[in-house]
Amino acid sequence: MRVAVVTIASGRHDHLARQHAGLALSTRPADDYIVVAMGDPELAGWAPGGVPAPLVVDVPVDGRLPLAAARNRGAGLAFERGADVVVFLDVDCIPHPRLLDLYAKAAEQHPRSLVAGPVGYLPEGVDYASPETFDDAAHVHAFRPNPAPGEIELGHHDLFWSLSFAVDRAAWNDLGGFFEGYHGYGGEDTDFGLAAEDAGIDLVWVGGAVAYHQFHETQDPPVQHLDDILVNGALFESRWGFWPMRGWLDEFERLGLVGRDAAGLYTRIGVTT
C-alpha cells in the first residue's frame, strides 16, 4: 500500500518545516509528500533535505484562499502518482510517529472510509525540538472521539474535520473531492463529511493516530474569518438546508456582529476590529 501525505499552505513556513521534521520520524515513511502552495511563491523552491522529499505545486489565489480546490489538487496528483491512500495534514499539524502506520492499517481494514485521529493542541512555548514531550503537553480536543491506542470507533459525520484524516482511492473517487464552491475559512469540511454520509462512507476514528497542532495566535470566536463564515455558511445552507458553525454564528450574533434577515439568513450588521 502506497501512502501519500498532502498539505496545503499559505505562509506558516516554520510550521511546515516542523511538520516535515515530524514526518521524518514516522515509523512508516510516506511514499509521497505533496505540498500545495496557495499563492505562496516563497514555497516554490522549498527543499528542506532529508525524507520525505516534498513535491511543491501551486494553485492560484484570486481573493479568498481556495482551500477546497487546493486539497483536490493535492489528492488528485497523489493518486495519479500511485497512492492507494492519501493522508491530509493541516500545515499546523505534526504527526505522531505512528500516525501514518495507524492510518494505513485502518484504511486497509476499513476500505472506502474516511479515517481520522485525535488532534492534540500544543501550548505556546512548547519545545518543538523535543517531540517526546508532546503527549504530556498537548490538550486533545474534547468534542471529538479520542479512542484508546489500538481501538477503532465509528463516528458521526458532522464531526469530520480536515486537520488530519486519510482517504483511500475508492472513497475519494466516489466523493469527487471537496466541493470547490467554498473559498476561505469554514464550511467545506462539514460539507465533505455530510457528502460521505450520503454516499454510505464510514467515518472511522483511530486511537493513537494523534496529530499535534502547533500553537498560533487566534480569536474565539474567529472574528477574523467572519465574512468567510457568512459567505460559506450561506452556500452550505443552500446545499444542505441548515447553517453550519452555529456555535460561532450564535456568538457573533451575541456580540452584535451579525443578525438575521426575514428569511432567517445570517447577515453582517456590526464592524469587526
What domains are there in the chain, each with its CATH number?
3-213 (3.90.550.10), 223-268 (no CATH)
pLDDT band at residue 271 using 50, 70 and 90 as cut-offs: low
Average pLDDT over residues 135-156: 93
pLDDT band at residue 63 using 50, 70 and 90 as cut-offs: confident
Q: Is the pLDDT of residue 273 over 60?
A: no
Grid cell 445570517 is found at 266
Query: Which pLDDT tens digit goes with each residue over 28-53?
Result: 999 999 999 999 999 998 999 999 99
In sequence order, the 6+-apart residues with CB closer than 8 A to the CB of 263 are: none
pLDDT band at residue 272 using 50, 70 and 90 as cut-offs: low
Coil, strand or helix: which one is 86?
Answer: strand
Query: Which pLDDT tens digit goes with each residue over 85-113?
Result: 999 999 999 999 999 999 999 999 999 99
Inter-residue contact 168 to 79 (CB < 8 Å): no
In sequence order, the 6+-apart residues with CB closer than 8 A to the CB of 246 are: none
**Could you give the CA distance from residue 259 to residue 266 in angstroms, rounded to a whole number?**
6
pLDDT band at residue 221 using 50, 70 and 90 as cut-offs: confident
**Could you give the CA distance from residue 34 to residue 55 in angstroms, rounded to a whole number?**
5
- pLDDT of res. 26: 98
- pLDDT of res. 260: 86
**Could you give the CA distance from residue 5 to residue 31 in angstroms, rounded to a whole number?**
8
In sequence order, the 6+-apart residues with CB closer than 8 A to the CB of 198 are: none
For 58, phi and psi rounded to 5 degrees?
-125, 145
**Could you give the CA distance from residue 240 to residue 92 in angstroms, rounded to a whole number?**
29
DSSP one-letter code for 32: E
